[in-house]
Amino acid sequence: MVKKVLFISPLPPPHYGSALSSEMCLNILRGSRDFEVRSIKLNYSRKMNDLGKINFDKIIGIFKVKNQIKKEIKNFKPDIVYFMPATSSLGLLRDAYFIKQIKKIWKGKILFHIRARILEEDWKNKRKRKILSGMLKDQKAIVLGEELVRDLHGLIKNENIFILPNAIKNDVSDKQLKEILKERKKNKQLEILFISNMDRTKGWPKLLEACKILDKKNINFRCGFVGAWQSKKDKEYFENFVKRNNLQNKVFSLGKKIGKEKRKILEKTDVLVFPTEYKLETFGRVILEAYMFMVPVIANGIATILSTVKHGKTGFVLKENNPKEISKYLEKLQDIKLREKIGKVGRKRFLDNFELENYKKEFKWILK
């Protein structure tokens, strides 16, 4: 029997982790004969630096989405309402409003795909706790790891919680990887990479300081920062830091890269550094991209990163998450044999646990 799914979620553009993952889930359902899908795009941000801000397009968008929801529930009559909610800030208020509208006209349990943290500071706030409880209580949820179940504070019964880590498609064959590794061995210096939005909470200033430490130790390296700038002030800070510390030949801002451009960069990369302190961080999709290309990962040990990165095996988990600790592991990964050993384990871990084909089966099973 074909299930009707009303899919309500942020989708690209702009291109960021949760929107890309939602697009992947939507495509899985659209590619299956078991589901008939109608989609409603929640987000009206045009650029990354629009996220979390109010503008005219977003206000108009709220009314458009509300009307779309009412129309689709009335005419499409879904068996499942899939919803990827914001869990803080203005997005939480927006989505709580939509959920209230859905519950007025649809009596089933909503399936929430929760891709952000529910912060303790929000839960301790009486008003926000009431909003979160009103949205989630007695519904169903997909979370990205066991570590995130406690974020739900018992609002959803354990039998209605599904654990499904992020996944990406394996776009690198073993034959291609062999050639990539052959070329990578020609690197004349340690090629370090940061990929995320150039938001300070993602940790790029820490890596910048770590580069300064490496340079003072006369370590031969190059470090590329890939991502869209969130503010002119941050971009100026980055550029001034590089000039002030004479790092112009070693540290580079590469801007936003997607698709083939990002792939070319990953092919040449020796180490990925992801020192995120973003409060709503859950997984770090970029870690999987690094694993796919046999790139060791240095990442801050928060949320599901603790179980995604195996310390000393697929990379290194940061405890202090400071420049000194980052530089210590980067020094260690100058050893090409160690990088290859760690990269090999990371690639296997990706194929066994985070590859799209397995994810498809699990995701469709949950919705069935």
Cα separation of the two ends of the chain = 10
**What is the average pLDDT across 1-7?**
96
> How would CATH label the architecture of 174-353?
3-Layer(aba) Sandwich (3.40)
Secondary structure string (H, E, C) spanning 82-133: EECCCCCHHHHHHHHHHHHHHHHHCCCCCEEEECCCCCHHHHHCHHHHHHHH
pLDDT in tens, 203-236: 999 999 999 999 999 999 999 999 999 899 999 9
The CA distance from 250 to 289, in Å, is 23
Assign 76 a pLDDT band (cuts: 50, 70, 90).
very high
The CA distance from 321 to 319, in Å, is 6
- pLDDT of residue 43 exceeding 90, the answer is no
Assign 57 a pLDDT band (cuts: 50, 70, 90).
confident
- In the structure encoding, which two tokens stand for residue 256, read together? 């936003």
Assign 50 a pLDDT band (cuts: 50, 70, 90).
low
- pLDDT of residue 263 exceeding 60, the answer is yes
pLDDT in tens, 275-317: 999 999 998 899 999 999 999 999 999 999 999 999 999 999 9
**What is the average pLDDT across 265-277?**
98
- pLDDT of residue 49 exceeding 70, the answer is no
- pLDDT of residue 86 exceeding 70, the answer is yes
Distances (CA, A) of 273 to 192, 218, 298: 7, 20, 5
3-164 carries CATH number 3.40.50.2000: yes
- pLDDT of residue 202 exceeding 90, the answer is yes
**Mean pLDDT lowest among 54-58, 97-101, 298-302, 345-349:** 54-58
- Is-same-fold flag (3-164; 174-353)? yes
Q: Is 42 left (phi over 0), alpha (psi -120 to 50) or beta?
A: alpha
Question: How is the chain split into domains, by residue range?
Answer: 3-164, 174-353
Q: DSSP strand E in the chain: where?
A: 3-9, 35-41, 80-83, 111-114, 140-143, 161-163, 190-195, 221-226, 251-255, 271-274, 297-300, 315-318
**What is the average pLDDT across 126-137?**
97
Neighbours of 20 (CB within 10 A): 17
Strand pairing category for 111-114 and 297-300: unpaired
The CA distance from 159 to 157, in Å, is 5
Instruction: Identify any residues that bridge with 6 across adjacent strands, giving them in sequence order.
Output: 38, 81
The CA distance from 177 to 182, in Å, is 8
pLDDT in tens, 228-251: 998 999 999 999 999 999 999 999
- pLDDT of residue 45 exceeding 80, the answer is no
239 and 253 Cβ atoms separated by less than 8 Å = yes
